[in-house]
Structure 1
Amino acid sequence: MAATALVLILLGCRGEPPSAAEIAAAKQERPALDQIELQIQTDAATHPFTVEVARTPDEQARGLMFRESLAPNVGMLFPFPEPRPASFWMKNTLIPLDMIFVRPDGTIARIAVNTTPLSLAPVGVGEPVAAVLEIAGGRSVELGIDEGDRVSWPGGPSF
């Protein structure tokens, strides 16, 4: 774990995209995360996703960094112990993502569509959220997912 943290710190200090060798090294050190089934309910349909759950601060700091692809119905969930305003960036994230900010009642507060890979610009929401869901960039538009739709998962917000 200390080696992973050192790699992330060193890569973050350079200010340039990671090399193929650095990406390969980071992938080898990625621990497996728990996976759960999650649903997003729109007016038209229920959309199932299989997501990895980033629970610890280290898992949340790493997120989807160094991933070179993301399948259409997978993602990563960042649940918080208590609702809080959240802000993420795309540093060392190689693919565009949709960031879905989920309120404590399970409704979607904001969707940041097709966030810019490798960007240091913060992407956030100005209200407390219970979780952030990251899915493949543009997928929320493809599926017609909007603010106000509902996200649910085992142990997640109840409504």
Structure 2
Amino acid sequence: MSKALAVLATASQLTLLKAVTALIAVTAFLYPPELLAQIGVPAPTEYAKQSICIAELSQPLTVELADNWQQRARGLMQRESLADNAGMWFRYNEKRPGNSGFWMYQTLLPLDIAFFDQQQRIVSIITMPPCASEDPGQCPSYAPGHDYYSALETNAGFFSAHGITVGDKLYTESHGDCELPNKN
């Protein structure tokens, strides 16, 4: 009798294994890559673009807008280059705490990040080197130490090369140049 139970148990396990495998296949087919990517690298996503100005820039910066969680999660991961006057602007609907930072997991480029307060003034600038680790837990988080409402990633060295410092303001009104009548 015990031999019959062992065969029955093995058959049940095999049936269960087939059912689980089928469920995984159906799930992978039905759910969009963005949802499944939560366990890995987010799928590529589309970004709207906008021209912005900061402080004394003579030319606008063309930024991709990261306004939802999929766009923010993907960020600049796996990009091999970023144009000189380009970046990614992470905008939030509410205040983010100063200990909430950004990381460089699977980001290939060294980046600068500027964090902005509610008035779009820079509260912190940090240079972030790429994280070479395949283990996301080994990649440091770069937090500004100040509450913020948005953050702008650019090529490393961009802010210092243009004399942009803490306290400078980001402007979204741009008409092909950065002549700003009121910079206060």
Which TM-score bucket, shorter chain as reference?
Answer: 0.7 to 0.9
| Structure 2 partner of 1:132 | 151
Q: How does 1:91-102 map to 2 (within 5 A)?
A: 91-102=105-116
1:50 — aligned with what?
62
Q: Which runs of 5+ in 2 are unaligned?
A: 1-30, 133-138, 174-183
Question: Alpha carbon RMSD of aligned pairs, Å?
Answer: 2.1
Moved over 4 A (4+): none
1:35 pairs, out of 43, 49, 61, with 49
Supply the AA of the counterpart residue of 1:116.
P
Residue deviations 1:40-63 (CA, integer Å, cap 9, x gap): 014xx4452000001111110110
Tell me how far apart the structure 2 counterparts of residues 40 and 110 of structure 1 sit (CA, whole Å).
Answer: 14
What number of residue pairs does the alignment pair up? Answer: 136
Deviations 1:37-95 (CA, angstroms, capped at 9, x unpaired):
111014xx445200000111111011000100101100100011012224100001110
Indicate conservation of the 8 Å contact 2:124/2:146, yes or no: no
Matches within 5 A, 1:143-158: 143-153=162-172
Kindly indicate which of the two structures has a greater share of residues assigned to strand: 1
Q: Give the aligned partner of residue 22 of structure 1.
A: none
Preserved contact between residue 34 and residue 70 of structure 2 (Cα < 8 Å)? no
* Superposed CA offset, 1:10-63 (max 9, x none): 45xxxxxxxxxxxxxx8xx52321000111014xx4452000001111110110
Counterpart CA distance in 2 for 1:127 and 1:57 is 21
* Bigger Cα Rg: 2
SS of 2:161's partner is helix
Name which of 82, 91, 110 aligns with 2:124: 110
With normalisation by structure 1, the TM-score equals 0.77
Which residue among 77, 94, 102 is the counterpart of 2:89?
77
Report if aligned partners of 1:40, 1:47 keep a CA contact under 8 Å in 2: no
Whether the aligned pair in 1 keeps the contact of 2:114 and 2:153 (CA below 8 Å) is yes
Amino acid across the alignment from 2:60: P
Instruction: Indicate the structure with greater helix content.
Output: 2
Helix, strand or coil: the match of 2:60? strand
Q: Percent identity?
A: 33
Q: Does structure 2 conserve the Cα–Cα contact (< 8 Å) formed by 1:38 and 1:50?
A: yes
Q: Which runs of 5+ in 1 are unaligned?
A: 12-25
Distance change >3 Å, CA 46–CA 147, structure 1 → 2: farther
Letter in 1 for 2:110: P
